[in-house]
Structure formats: structure tokens, C-alpha cells
Amino acid sequence: MAVDWVASPPVPVRPYREPRRQPRYTGPPSYPAPPRWGLPALPWRWQVTVPGTVPRVSPAERMRVLAGTATTLLWVTALACGLAAVAELWRYVMLLISRSAVLSYGWLKASDALVITAGVLAPVTALVAGTATVLWLLRARQAAAEATDRAPARPDWQVLLGLLPGPNLSVPGSTLTELEHAALGEPADRRPSPSRLLRIWWVTWAAGLLLAAVTLLWGLRSGVQAQADGVVLRILTDSVAVAVAVLSVKVVASITALLSPLDNAAAHRMLVVRVEGAPTPQRRPRATTHRR
């Protein structure tokens, strides 16, 4: 009997898999545009605008933002001018002491350093605060025009020209009076009349400008007595500048509140104390395998 033997490979213990070819490295991934996937590194907030559109910021909102900036800068100006007044007062006291005693070299150096430092800080802070206040004034005029649906009494270029020496005695006060008149909702045919706060600010503003001019002209004189009188004038000028800055803060806050009053419910954070009459929430049944 003929027998044919057929050889077959043994059954492997593990299924045989062909080796997978490693993909060829083609460099780092590239995108035609910045990827938009992933979570943004920002606090979560509900989407209130349509993507791709730019929300319109009203003049009243811009005015509120500028009012906060101007208020902060005006307080800084008041502190700088107050420091300048204290420095000049210290110098005047030392002038009085020097008439009968010899002054210490250290005290003289400290007084000069304080006067120079305050003399630099006060004008710089006043200039920055004045710029922010003028920007607030322009935005407030736009907000008043939008609220009353009538154009301002004078164009913006006249307001800016009113900052020049001479017209700055009357134009800023009259501009604020017109703005306050519009913010109060008074009729356009009625003559604007400044409030008590605005009158005090106007008088203080004019007195400060006149004192500053007299102080500058007095500094051109020579002599020991003229220098001593100049110290007194600088004390008065710096003190009036402090009053102008503080009153300006009050005027900005008053007109801003008239044009854009804030809702107390929206301005303060609400805290839930208790809930009454709410239905009891339904809970799903606990699994029998879970322990209590």
C-alpha cells in the first residue's frame, strides 16, 4: 500500500501578525489657519453676541469708563499738589527760622529734594488728569446729545480752543453748564444755569488760573523778599489746585450719574440667602449595591 506523507507547519501558540511598517516622519503638523479646537484660556461666559460681529459701544459706556480713569487721575493730582503745598510750606518755615538761627545742611537738602520732586509730579499728573477729563467731557457731550436727541450747543473744536490761556477762564465753566443743562433734561430754549457745585468749581478754577499766572510773573522778580513772597504764592496756588482737583471729581461724578445712572441691582452682587416655595428636586433611586 502506497502512503503519501504531507508536511504541514505546526499551529503557532500566538496568531502570527505581519510586522507593521512605521510611518515615515514628515515633520511637525501644519495647519492652514490657527487651530480653533481646545478650551480658551479665559473665564467662561455666556455668548451674547453673534460671532463675527463687532458690538457697538455707546457713548454713555465710554463716558463711564473715562469717568473712572479721570477720577483716579484727579485724586492722584490732588495728592501731588498737596505734597507740593506741604513742601513749599516747609520751605517757608525754614526761611522764617533762618532769620534767627543757622539751618542744618541736611534739612536744606531734604527741603530742596521735596520741592523739586513735588514740582515735577504736580504738573505732570495735572496734565495727564486734564487730558483724561477733557476726553470724558467730549464723550459726555456725545452721550447727552444721544439722550436728548439734539446737537451740543457748541462744536468740539470750540471746547478745545477754550483750553487756551484767556478763554480757559470762562469756556470750561460754560461748557460744563451746558452739559449739565442737557443732562438734567431741561428745554433747549431755556437759558442754562449752573448748579451750586458747578458755581463753586467755576470760581475755584478761575482763581487757580489767576493765581498760577501771578505766581509765574512774580517769579521774574529778584530779591530776597520777592522770593519769600513767591513761596507764599506757590503755597496758595498748590492749595487751590488741590481744591480744583477734588471739586472736579465731584463734578465728573455728578454729571456722569445724571447721564448714565447705574442700577443698584446690577451694580451690587446678589447673594441667595434662602429659597421659599421651591419644589423638591427628584432624585433617581439608589442602586441596591451602593452603601449608604
| The pLDDT of residue 280 is above 80 | no
Mean pLDDT score, 73-85: 94
- Domain assignment present for residue 246? The answer is yes
Residue 179, pLDDT score: 87
- Taking the whole predicted model, whether its pTM rises above 0.75 is answered as no
**Distance between CA 128 and CA 74 in Å, rounded?**
9
In a domain, 166, yes or no: yes
Residue 37 confidence class, pLDDT cut points 50, 70, 90? confident
Report d(CA 170, CA 194) in Å as an integer. 13
Q: Tell me, yes or no, whether 273 lies in a domain.
A: no
Burial class (CB in 10 A: 0-12, 13-18, 19+), 289: exposed
The domain of 138 spans 59-261
- Considering the domain boundaries, does residue 87 fall inside one? yes
Highest mean pLDDT pick, 83-87, 94-98, 172-176, 286-290: 83-87
Tell whether 204 is covered by a domain: yes
The answer, yes or no, to whether residue 236 has pLDDT greater than 80, is yes
* Angstrom distance (rounded) from CA 267 to CA 264: 5
Whether 77 is in a domain gets the answer: yes
Find the mean pLDDT for residues 76-94: 91
pLDDT band at 55 (very low <50, low <70, confident <90, very high): low
Q: How many domains does the chain have?
A: 1
Look at residue 248 and tell me whether its pLDDT is greater than 80. Answer: yes
Does 232 map to a domain?
A: yes
Amino acid at 228: A
Q: What is the pLDDT of residue 260?
A: 82
Q: Is residue 65 part of a domain?
A: yes
Cell 536744606 sits at which residue?
Answer: 108
User: Distance of CA 208 to CAs 263, 268, 273, Å?
Assistant: 36, 38, 52
